[in-house]
Structure 1
Amino acid sequence: MSGLEKEKFIQFEWLHLSKIGEQIPVEVSLTALMDDDGQEMLMAVMRDVTDRKVAEQSILDSLKEKEMLLAEIHHRVKNNLAIVSGLIQLQMISNTNPEIRQTLAKSVNRIKSIALIHDQLYTNNSFSRISMIENIKALSKSLMNMYAPTDGSIIKYRYNMDEVHLDINQAIPLGLLVNEIVTNSLKHAFRPGENGLISIVLKQIDENILLEIHDDGIGFDSEKDFLEKDTLGKTLIETFVSQLDGELSVNGDMGATFEIRFKTENKKGASAYLNV
């Protein structure tokens, strides 16, 4: 009775051994009572919960099956993107036009940016939240391997990032934004022979996210000059910002600075990041 002195009622589950030696899951309810003479009594009620346990296990099995299916889907998407990337790279090898090769290389990097998200979803335990620190560092490293200077100069990254997690419909456009902006800095920001620094800031306050990418290169004249450019890169940056329902600001003083602000949210459906 001591365990019931304060609670007056306790409920728990245990395995009951039946007359034929079979273990049956039961729910036990103990209630402390007092009769008319003030004598303490204990009422015990046992309920067979076999059907409930079977239903619970069925739900768990179904959930595990769906998780395995999701993992396989992301794995196959990643592999299919790798095939597409490989085909484009073969096209690059067979083409001698530098401009076409450069355009194809940019397409390969965009595909790799998307594939990286699916690889994270496949290898991590969570299928709904993606670590953007892990994603951005892996992506920027890949871009450096592609565009590292060959003239002896050194370009470095500096990171200042919170542990931000996004769902796939926001992680993909954000990853593509990083790809476009960092690629632009690596290719155009620094004069030949000059060292450079690219700073990547990612901050979260409540549901508000700030992505800031700054390089200490040559910059550009004004925000108006950038916004009036008619290039695929600028169009893609504006498109990805729009998919995040975000705001873009740029500054060309003391190098180039891109700021993107948006709110975290769960967008429904894969089409949320395909509306180009």
Structure 2
Amino acid sequence: MLRDLSNRLLQFRRIFDSVGARMGGVILGSVAPVSVLGGVLVWQDYVHLSEASLRRGESVRLTADRRLRHDIDRTTAMLETTGELDADGDHTMRFLSLAQSASGMKYCFLAELDQAGGVVNQVTSTATSGGGCDGVGGRPTGDKTFAEVVTSGERAYARVVAPIAAEGGGAPRFSTGARFLVAVEPLAQAVSLAGPLDSAGGDVLADATAWYVAPGGELSPLCAQCAWSRPPKRVVASLMREARETKSETASLITAYSSYTYGPVAGVGAILVATTRLPSETHSLWMLGLWILTIFGLLVTGLIGVMVAAHRLVVSPLRQLTQEVKMWDQGGGFEPVNARSTPVEFRTLSKVFRRATGRLARREAELERSIARQNLLIREIHHRVKNNLQIVASLLNLQGARIRAADMKEEFMLARDRVRTLATLHRHLYVEGEVESLNMGRFLAELGPQLMEAEGEETRALITLQVEASDIVFPSSLATPMALIVSETVSNSLKYAFPNLSPGTILISLTQTGEEVTLVVADDGIGLSASQGINDREGIGLQLIRGFARQMGAVLQIDEGAGTRYTVRTTLGGRGAETG
């Protein structure tokens, strides 16, 4: 999981590897805070506009609450004052009639009732109260003044009940045989929402509908003359459920076309106000949307313009400079970027790099000429060394021919063969053109016949030399001792393995396995132990073989069986340890 996370972070970092991506990130990062702030402000404006109808509904509800409270308080004060008067029925009715006239004939039921709810005296007017409201007078349910909302059919009424003072004075209270006063008026008239909202004017219900909500969810309109469409039952149920779940007992809901506000009113019930979006609000929302699109379009256009300008003025010249550097790195020339649209820093960098590459090119040319002269000198040295070695070998050959003693003549011939081997080695280095390495397979293919050539025709007729060498490239530090080992082992086999010119075979094998190189020089002669009876083979030749093996860091192994077998193992890149 950590590896996957690391890989994802690495891929994310690679996205911003280029200058264009980083500049784009910087530009977007600088614009992001302003965009976020503008988005928050636009969202606040949108919320404010979309909730305008909701605020108007809440204003209607609060207006209804204030007016109903005022009406109930006034009615309660009137009834309590009338009930406290120590007067007979005629005087009570006279006071009630005066109150009805003073109220503008708004009560649809104003009467004096007994304890059972029977009408003792009644003052009723249907002129402005919207008709009679018989059946909603009710009867007292307590011993104090109270106000409530009752419904009859689809209409709601505000009812206030107050006791009449008992004979002998005292505080009014309900008791057996007591009488009480009841005032009933349509709730729509008590609330008076058809009037202006405040002193500034404006119809409260211009773009709203208001409904009294009974405890069971039944709705009664607060406008007797208005033909309103009822809110959906699911909306009413949702608002009532939300109000029960909140401490404020209020709830609100915004739909696509309407807003609903639900809450208590005057402590006697709850009302629901439905408002629709005003044309001015719709126009404001459309203008806000158009403004958002305009700002967004300008922002995107500006970002695109900045990105294009940054690409043309910064990214493109930098890519051109990078391309020129890549072409120079691949062996081509470097052309400085001098366009006027390129920033002066890039032009300066291009010129400085041009001068640096020029100096570097001149220095490389000087080094190449110096290396060529050095190689020429080294080749000339090798050529001269080869010629000198050949001269030395010829001198040794001439001197050996003048010596009569066999032992001394043999030593001269051995020295001559070693010098010839070195001369052949230097000639191969010169011909190949490499002074640090040598193709050992080709070298051994020439060295073997050269060693046989020095022994005479009779020896060549009886002894066969086989060379099985792969084309293995040796460094010169290993090639020289390896060549001398081959020369010494072959010379020993020619001189001691086949006494009395007996026929035989000498094998030179060079193979490679990985970094390990194995040299095998074997003969099918009389063997090392048997030849010691003829001559001492642990002479300078065998000592040289061991010494050259140590120089190479190689493993030397000498085996006897059907002849003598020399095995030398070494590595081209390392050093081994000698064993015998």
What TM-score do you get using the length of structure 1 for normalisation? Answer: 0.76
Shift of residue 29, structure 1, vs aligned partner: 7.1
> Which aligned pairs between 1:132-147 and structure 2 lie closer than 5 A?
132-147=440-455
Query: Could you list the runs of 5+ residues in structure 1 that have no partner in the other structure?
Result: 14-24, 31-42, 268-276
Shift of residue 118, structure 1, vs aligned partner: 1.2
**1:10 is aligned with what amino acid?**
Q
Q: Residue 98 of structure 1 aligns with which residue?
A: 406
Query: Which of 114, 120, 127 is matched with 2:422 structurally?
Result: 114
> Which aligned pairs between 1:233-272 and structure 2 lie closer than 5 A?
233-265=541-573
**Alpha-carbon distance in structure 2 between the residues aligned to 1:247 and 1:26:** 52
> Which aligned pairs between 1:212-251 and structure 2 lie closer than 5 A?
212-221=520-529, 230-251=538-559
Q: Residue 272 of structure 1 aligns with which residue?
A: none
**2:335 is aligned with what amino acid?**
V
Query: Which of 348, 359, 378 is matched with 1:70 structurally?
Result: 378
**Alignment identity in percent?**
26
Shift of residue 50, structure 1, vs aligned partner: 2.8
Aligned to 2:563, the other structure's residue is in SS state: coil
**2:515 is aligned with what amino acid?**
E
Q: RMSD of the TM alignment (CA)?
A: 2.9
Shift of residue 169, structure 1, vs aligned partner: 2.0
Task: Compare CA radii of gyration and give the structure with the larger one.
Answer: 2
> Which aligned pairs between 1:37-48 and structure 2 lie closer than 5 A?
47-48=354-355
**Alpha-carbon distance in structure 1 between the residues aligned to 2:335 and 2:414:** 65
- Contact map agreement 2:463 2:506 (CA 8 A) in 1: yes
Aligned to 1:150, the other structure's residue is in SS state: helix
**2:519 is aligned with what amino acid?**
L
- Contact map agreement 2:528 2:537 (CA 8 A) in 1: no
Pairing 1:170–2:465 present? no
Structure 1's 26 and 148: CA in aligned 2 closer, same or farther, altered over 3 A? Answer: closer
Shift of residue 167, structure 1, vs aligned partner: 2.0
Structure 1's 221 and 137: CA in aligned 2 closer, same or farther, altered over 3 A? Answer: same
**2:556 is aligned with what amino acid?**
L
Aligned to 2:489, the other structure's residue is in SS state: helix
**Alpha-carbon distance in structure 1 between the residues aligned to 2:520 and 2:450:** 19
Q: Residue 274 of structure 1 aligns with which residue?
A: none
- Contact map agreement 1:117 1:168 (CA 8 A) in 2: no
Shift of residue 85, structure 1, vs aligned partner: 1.5
Structure 1's 142 and 26: CA in aligned 2 closer, same or farther, altered over 3 A? Answer: closer
- Contact map agreement 1:152 1:193 (CA 8 A) in 2: no
Q: Residue 211 of structure 1 aligns with which residue?
A: 519
| Structure (1 or 2) with the greater strand fraction | 1
- Contact map agreement 2:444 2:469 (CA 8 A) in 1: no
Q: Write out per-residue CA displacement over residues 44-63 of structure 1, whole angstroms, 9 at most, x where no aligned residue.
A: 95735432221111111011
Aligned to 1:76, the other structure's residue is in SS state: helix
Q: Residue 390 of structure 2 aligns with which residue?
A: 82
Deviates more, 1:208-217 or 1:102-111: 208-217
Structure 1's 151 and 262: CA in aligned 2 closer, same or farther, altered over 3 A? Answer: closer
Q: Residue 116 of structure 2 aligns with which residue?
A: none
Structure 1's 151 and 208: CA in aligned 2 closer, same or farther, altered over 3 A? Answer: closer
Pairing 1:183–2:496 present? no
**Alpha-carbon distance in structure 2 between the residues aligned to 1:85 and 1:151:** 21
Query: Could you list the runs of 5+ residues in structure 2 that have no partner in the other structure?
Result: 1-315, 338-345, 576-580
Aligned to 2:561, the other structure's residue is in SS state: coil
Aligned to 1:217, the other structure's residue is in SS state: coil
**Alpha-carbon distance in structure 2 between the residues aligned to 1:152 and 1:168:** 30
**2:478 is aligned with what amino acid?**
Q
Shift of residue 217, structure 1, vs aligned partner: 1.7
**Alpha-carbon distance in structure 2 between the residues aligned to 1:142 and 1:26:** 52
Aligned to 1:126, the other structure's residue is in SS state: coil
Structure 1's 101 and 221: CA in aligned 2 closer, same or farther, altered over 3 A? Answer: closer
**Alpha-carbon distance in structure 1 between the residues aligned to 2:457 and 2:520:** 23
**Alpha-carbon distance in structure 2 between the residues aligned to 1:110 and 1:211:** 19
Pairing 1:53–2:366 present? no
Q: Residue 335 of structure 2 aligns with which residue?
A: 28
**Alpha-carbon distance in structure 2 between the residues aligned to 1:151 and 1:59:** 53
**Alpha-carbon distance in structure 1 between the residues aligned to 2:398 and 2:563:** 35
Structure 1's 229 and 158: CA in aligned 2 closer, same or farther, altered over 3 A? Answer: closer
- Kindly indicate whether structure 1 or structure 2 has the higher relative contact order, using CA contacts under 8 Å at least 6 residues apart: 1
Structure 1's 220 and 53: CA in aligned 2 closer, same or farther, altered over 3 A? Answer: closer
Shift of residue 151, structure 1, vs aligned partner: 6.9
Deviates more, 1:211-220 or 1:188-197: 188-197
**2:387 is aligned with what amino acid?**
N
